[in-house]
Amino acid sequence: MTDSPIIKLTAAEIAAKIASGDLTAVEVTEAHLARIESVDEKVHAFLHIDRDGALAQARAVDEKRERGEKLGPLAGVPLALKDIFTTEGIPTTVGSKILEGWIPPYDATLTRRLKEADVVILGKTNMDEFAMGSSTENSAYGPTGNPWDLTRIPGGSGGGSSAALASYEAPLAIGTDTGGSIRQPAAVTGTVGVKPTYGAVSRYGMVAFSSSLDQGGPCARTVLDAALLHEVIAGHDPLDSTSIDAPVPPVVEAARNGSVAGMRVGVVKQFRGEGYQAGVVQRFDESVQLLKELGAEIVELDCPSFDLALSAYYLIAPSECSSNLARFDGLRYGLRVGDDGTRSAEDVTSLTREEGFGDEVKRRIMLGTYALSSGYYDAYYGSAQKVRTLITQDFQKAFEQVDVIVSPTTPTTAFPIGERADDPMAMYLADLCTIPTNLAGNAAMSLPCGLAPEDGLPVGLQIIAPAMKDERLYQVGAAVEAAFVARWGHPLLEEAPSL
Amino acid sequence: MPGITREEVAHLARLARLELKAEELDHFAGQLDDIIGAVARVAEVADRDVPPTSHPLPLTNVMRADEVRPSLTPEQALSCAPAQEQQRFKVPQILGED
3-state secondary structure A137-197: CCCCCCCCCECCECCECCCCCCHHHHHHHHCCCCCEEEEECCCCCCHHHHHHHCCEEEECC
What CATH number is given to the structural domain containing B38?
A: 1.10.20.60
Report strand pairing: A264-268 vs A297-301. Answer: parallel
Partner residue facing B16 (CB), from A365, A385, A388: A365
Whether residue B97 is predicted with pLDDT greater than 70 in this model: the reply is no
pTM of the complete model: 0.97
In angstroms, the CA A366 to CA A330 distance is 19
Residues of B in contact with A440 (CB under 8 A): 56
Letter string b/e over residues A335-368, b meaning 16 or more CB atoms within 10 A of that residue's CB: bbbbbeeebebebbbbbbbbebbbbbbbbbbbbb
Helix axes A359-371, B6-15, angle to 10 degrees: 90
On the question of pLDDT at A456 being above 60, the answer is yes
Which residues of A does the annotation mark as catalytic?
82, 157, 181
B12 within some domain: yes
**What pLDDT is stored for residue B59 in this prediction?**
83
In chain B, what residues touch A315 (CB-CB under 8 Å)?
Answer: 39, 42
How confident is the model over A24-35, as pLDDT tens digits? 999 999 999 999
3-state secondary structure of A217: strand
Spatial separation of the C-alpha atoms in residues A16 and A12, rounded to whole Å: 6
* Percent of chain A topping pLDDT 90: 98
Nearest to A230 by CA among A215, A241, A240: A215
Q: Average pLDDT of chain B? A: 90
List A175's β-bridge partners, or say none.
Answer: A217
Contact across the interface for B17 and A382, Cβ inside 8 Å: no
- pLDDT at A1 (0 to 100): 62
- The edge-to-edge listing of strands for the beta sheet with A297-301 is A46-49, A120-125, A78-82, A172-176, A216-220, A192-195, A443-451, A458-465, A404-408, A264-268, A297-301
What residue numbers bound the domain in which B24 lies? 1-48
Cβ pair A311:B1 closer than 8 A: no
B11 within a domain of the structure (yes/no):
yes
- Per-residue pLDDT at A158 exceeds 60: yes
Give a yes or no: residue B31 inside a domain. yes
The answer to whether residue B20 is domain-embedded is yes
What chain A holds in terms of domains, given with CATH numbers, is: 11-258+444-495 (3.90.1300.10)
* Binary contact (B19, A354; C-beta < 8 A): yes
- Has residue B34 been placed in a domain? yes
What is the rounded CA–CA span in Å between residue A251 and residue A154? 27
Half-sphere exposure of A178 (CA within 13 A, CB side): 28
| End-to-end CA separation in angstroms for chain A | 12
- pLDDT averaged over chain A? 97
Secondary structure (DSSP) of A240-254: -TTS--SPPP-HHHH
Tell me the per-residue pLDDT of A407-418, one tens digit each, with 9 for 90 and over. Answer: 999 999 999 999
The radius of gyration of chain B's CA atoms, rounded to the nearest angstrom, is 23
Which residue of chain A comes nearest to B17, CA vs CA?
A: A350
CA A252 to chain centre: 19
So what's the pLDDT on residue A411? Answer: 97
Q: What is the number of CB-based contacts under 8 A between chain A and chain B? A: 181
Average pLDDT over residues A84-99: 98
* Residue from A370, A374, A392, A425 to probe the interface with B (highest B Cβ count within 10 Å): A370
Taking the CA of residue A472 as centre, how many other CA atoms within 13 Å lie in the half-sphere pointing to its CB? 23
In a domain, B23, yes or no: yes
Q: B77 in helix, strand or coil?
A: helix
Residue range A273-283: mean pLDDT, rounded: 95
- Gyration radius (Cα) of chain A, Å: 21
pLDDT at B53: 94
The bridge status of strand A443-451 relative to strand A192-195 is antiparallel
Task: Say if the Cβ atoms of B79 and A103 lie within 8 Å.
Answer: yes
Do the domain assignments include residue B35? yes
CA pseudo-torsion sign A31, A35, A37, A40: negative
- As a whole number, mean pLDDT of residues B54-82 equals 90
CA A39 to chain centre: 22
pLDDT of residue B1: 47
Domain count, chain B: 1
Q: Does residue B26 lie within any of the structural domains?
A: yes
Interior CA angle at A208 toward A206 and A214, to 5°? 85
Q: Is the pLDDT of residue A90 over 50?
A: yes
User: Residue B94: pLDDT band by 50, 70, 90 thresholds?
Assistant: confident
Residue A365 contacts residue A325 (beta carbons within 8 Å):
yes
Q: What percent of chain A has pLDDT over 70?
A: 100
- What is the band of B63 on the pLDDT scale with cuts at 50, 70, 90? confident
